[in-house]
Structure 1
């Protein structure tokens, strides 16, 4: 195994949200303009010498199959149910790897040395919790000048047989195992609102304060797509606050709209004071 530079932090982890790069209401449909914009952001960061990791959601490439075949329920039940879920697992993986190819292609097209990495066979869960992870493989690719591109995936589960591993859990595990300077979640909306942004009286929240116990100091009401088997926006917020809490505020976390005028500056770690605060939400550690 190659020696790893354990003292070198990951500068940036960027999550391409499933709702940002796909149309969740239409099976296997890309939002190409957003994907191109997200890829351009990574290219900009790599050109500035940042060590970057990309993780993307599944969106309409996977959630539909996983939901329809109840993949997250595991390989229990009658022989027919187990057979059906195994088949559903294969369909789900076929779909998410198709999206991963599109994401990697978008990065390679702008001269980013991107390498797709699937979780299955490396990451293993136990009743939904991480039992074995693939962080070392991510670090090895980074140390050799590549941009790893991971995604939400089906994985084996020691207790259930199989399950769904979300991209958010991958990011959370990566931040737990290695120092990450910044995490940026690219969304289809301008950060977090106090209620679903589709509601006319929804108000944007520029900062979410979280204390050392992980308590969120903001009132937030969320909703998720009927096909989302990984928790929707609530899981994204919980993941973001957990990262900040677990790192004691060392990891800076933001949620921003893909393509907004603040994204590149956030990713590069530039001064927040000069940014349009209406285009993002910052997760702030409060002692």
Structure 2
């Protein structure tokens, strides 16, 4: 089994509200179709220009305050349902049975970290030949009332449970650089090297931590999977090559 993360900067232009790169997502789905159903997948996608601007506008990360925050909580969730519906339709066009599972319905957070999760539906979907499709979403939070559960946090929780062969992050850059922008692409790094990397996030709004969060997650993921890949999801065949194990990108090893 492999876990694939389609970053928000891949499926949308994060500087343009409600922008969706349908052709990119269809191509990603086509690449997965080369390996499915022999290979099992769980797919998680980010909020892109659907979730992040609304979460910022309504201050979801500030917690439950008044009617405005409740209103924003619902509106942000509805935007993510719209986005995941579009992703699922692109997968169906490539004969992939991607089944959307609402992250806010199965995870409870504490300050944005998952503390309770019910993965029975995910497990059943896999066993019955579906591709579970989860997404960064709003969450009910035991400390703040409401919060955001990021796609990266979801991936970490899934990896702990399912111990995938590899986790592949699709980004809008070629991988992890020693310095960004203007640095060298790091093709293979060990978890111990992550502490000294100087990075900055990609363009657009990201309320869930950007590339720094991904590196923190990669460090933890290395305890539950053999390889964590970071590749450019905007370039044809990079995903396929990462699945095979020979991609231009960055692989993080334990």
Q: Secondary structure at the match of 1:41?
A: helix
Among residues 210, 227, 239, which one is paired with 1:263 in the alignment? 239
* 2:124 matched residue in structure 1: 140
* 2:228 matched residue in structure 1: 253
Q: Deviations over 1:76-109 (max 9, x none)?
A: 3xxxxx1111111111111111110011000011
How well do the aligned residues superpose, as a CA RMSD in angstroms? Answer: 1.7
1:25 and 2:47 are equivalent in the alignment: no
- Once the two structures are TM-superposed, the CA of residue 262 in structure 1 deviates from its matched residue by 3.7
For residues 260 and 220 of structure 1, what CA distance do their matches in structure 2 show? 28
Among residues 154, 167, 178, which one is paired with 2:138 in the alignment? 154
> Looking at CA atoms only, which structure, 1 or 2, has the larger radius of gyration?
1
- TM-score, structure 1 normalization: 0.83
1:72 and 2:61 are equivalent in the alignment: yes
Kept after mapping to 2: 8 A contact 1:224/1:231: no
For residues 154 and 205 of structure 2, what CA distance do their matches in structure 1 show? 20
* 2:184 matched residue in structure 1: 203
- Once the two structures are TM-superposed, the CA of residue 240 in structure 1 deviates from its matched residue by 1.7
* 1:89 matched residue in structure 2: 73
For residues 137 and 251 of structure 2, what CA distance do their matches in structure 1 show? 27
Among residues 214, 222, 226, which one is paired with 1:236 in the alignment? 214
Report how many aligned residue pairs link the two structures: 253
Q: Deviations over 1:131-180 (max 9, x none)?
A: 21132221111011100100000011112111000011110001112221
- Once the two structures are TM-superposed, the CA of residue 219 in structure 1 deviates from its matched residue by 2.3
The unaligned stretches of length 5 or more in structure 2 are none
Q: Deviations over 1:110-151 (max 9, x none)?
A: 001110011113211123221211322211110111001000
Kept after mapping to 1: 8 A contact 2:175/2:250: yes
Higher helix share: 2
Q: Deviations over 1:54-86 (max 9, x none)?
A: 00001001100100110111113xxxxx11111
For residues 84 and 229 of structure 2, what CA distance do their matches in structure 1 show? 23
For residues 141 and 108 of structure 1, what CA distance do their matches in structure 2 show? 15
Kept after mapping to 1: 8 A contact 2:113/2:153: no
For residues 224 and 255 of structure 1, what CA distance do their matches in structure 2 show? 13
- TM-score, structure 2 normalization: 0.93
* 1:283 matched residue in structure 2: 252
